[in-house]
Amino acid sequence: MKNMIFCHLLNDASGSPRVLRGVIKAINGANVNAKLFVGTNGRGVLEGCGIPISRYWYLRSTFRVITLFTFLLSQILLFIALVRDRSIDKNAIIYVNTLLPFGGALFGKLTGRKVIYHVHEISIQPKLLCSFLCGVVRLTSSINIYVSKAHTLALPIAGVPAVQIYNSLDDELSLAASNSVYQHRRNGIFSVLMIASLRDYKGIPELLNLIAAIEDRSDILFELVVNDEQIDIDKYFSGKILPASLIIYPRTNKMADFYQRASLVLNLTRVDICIETFGLTILESMAFGVPVIVPPVGGPAELVSDAIEGFIVDSRDTTLLKEKIVLLADNASICHKMSRSARLRAQDFSPQVFASSILDALQLSSSM
């Protein structure tokens, strides 16, 4: 294993490119020559990842049909870019991050190179596209990496060996977390943080319902950090009257600032619509010693034990959510106990453990 080609689609601040950055750091420490092929839409956490970057055209649109068309075209262009790149070693491993960059997988299969998929999704819409992408995985992949037990069970792909590797913190955030001191309140305010994309299934409507149910508590304030730009925020909330106790922030690369001042972190993903495969923001919160509230199924439920590092609550149960938040807001001792437990649990997902697991998976793939 001396050469690797990474293929990714959208470079933003979401979980999958952040995990890929961790993979790249792991192989950088193992004397592996590597190159990244990434779509032109977005300048996120993969900038300055330490390996050469080649960009292929991709454009997201507010219209799903257009985005689907540009996505399919982008994969043709990715395939062509790979074919034209004469610097790619004949024995290079093609590492496809998420199901989407299938152009890279087809290139690997057709040129006799090993293909590894790092699967992050459970479902992709439309279903026909998801079926097609899973078919490409079945045809091309030597090994699939899943991010949790729930994820492995939710999207099995017959005939392809699978390994489970939990995500981890990156080194920079891990250092910031180790230097952070949890505070139950700051200036008398209990601060509730939620990080999510502006999608209904991520629990944005449930957050608004929760805030409305708790509006009598002026000492409880909410911050929402979204993986979107201000123009998208304005469009999503157009026509809605937002509560005074909610502050919304656009995409940022400075999440440590938010974790450091949070009293509690929420994940309100609707489990009847979407299952979280891991929950990287939950792990990051726990590393900062912040108690969490997470859904009862999926990856987050594997990270958290109920009433230990936080609470496990279905986001559709507004009454129970309010009860747990008020309990934590009024009990500093419970929060500090959960904070200590959260930090201990986060240590199970260190960058060192992740890097070792990734290198083992790569060696396994090479030997197949």
Q: Residues 53-109: pLDDT tens digits?
A: 999 999 988 888 999 999 999 999 999 999 999 999 999 999 999 999 999 999 999
Percent of the residues in the chain that have a pLDDT greater than 90, as a whole number: 81
DSSP for 326-359 reads HHHHT-HHHHHHHHHHHHHHHGGG-HHHHHHHHH
- pLDDT at residue 1 tops 80: no
Q: What is the pLDDT of residues 24-54, one digit of tens each?
A: 998 887 788 999 999 998 888 899 899 999 9
Q: What is each CA distance from 302 to 25, 148, 330, in whole angstroms? A: 25, 8, 27
pLDDT at 307: 98
Distance between CA 167 and CA 351 in Å, rounded? 9
Strand partners, 264: 192
Q: What is the pLDDT of residues 315-326, one digit of tens each?
A: 999 999 999 999
pLDDT at 93: 96
Q: Name the helix (H) or strand (E) containing 158.
A: none
Lowest mean pLDDT among 149-158, 192-201, 357-366: 357-366
Q: What is the mean pLDDT of the chain?
A: 94
Distance between CA 350 and CA 173 in Å, rounded? 11
From edge to edge, which strands make up the β-sheet containing 220-226? 246-249, 220-226, 190-196, 264-266, 292-294, 310-312
260-276: string of b/e by CB count within 10 Å (b at 16+)? bbbbbbbbbbbbeebbb
Strand partners, 345: none
pLDDT at 170: 80
Q: How far is CA 332 from the centre of its chain?
A: 30
pLDDT at 222: 98
Place of tokens 């149960």: 317
DSSP for 212-278 reads HHTTT-TTEEEEEEESS-HHHHHHHTTT----TTEEEE---S-HHHHHHH-SEEE----TTT---S-
Q: How far is CA 355 from the centre of its chain?
A: 17
Q: Which of 183, 150, 143 has the alpha carbon at shortest distance from 166? A: 150
Please report which confidence band the pLDDT of residue 123 belongs to, taking 50, 70 and 90 as the band edges: confident
pTM for this entry: 0.84
CA torsion sign for 251, 252, 253, 256 is negative
Higher-pLDDT residue of 64 and 284 is 284
| Residue 122: exposure state from Cβ atoms within 10 A (0-12, 13-18, ≥19) | middle
Q: Which of 215, 210, 213 has the alpha carbon at shortest distance from 224? A: 210
Place of tokens 């507004």: 318
Q: Which of 244, 234, 345 has the alpha carbon at shortest distance from 290? A: 345
- pLDDT at residue 193 tops 80: yes
Domains of the chain: 3-168+350-367 (3.40.50.2000), 172-348 (3.40.50.2000)
- pLDDT at residue 128 tops 90: yes
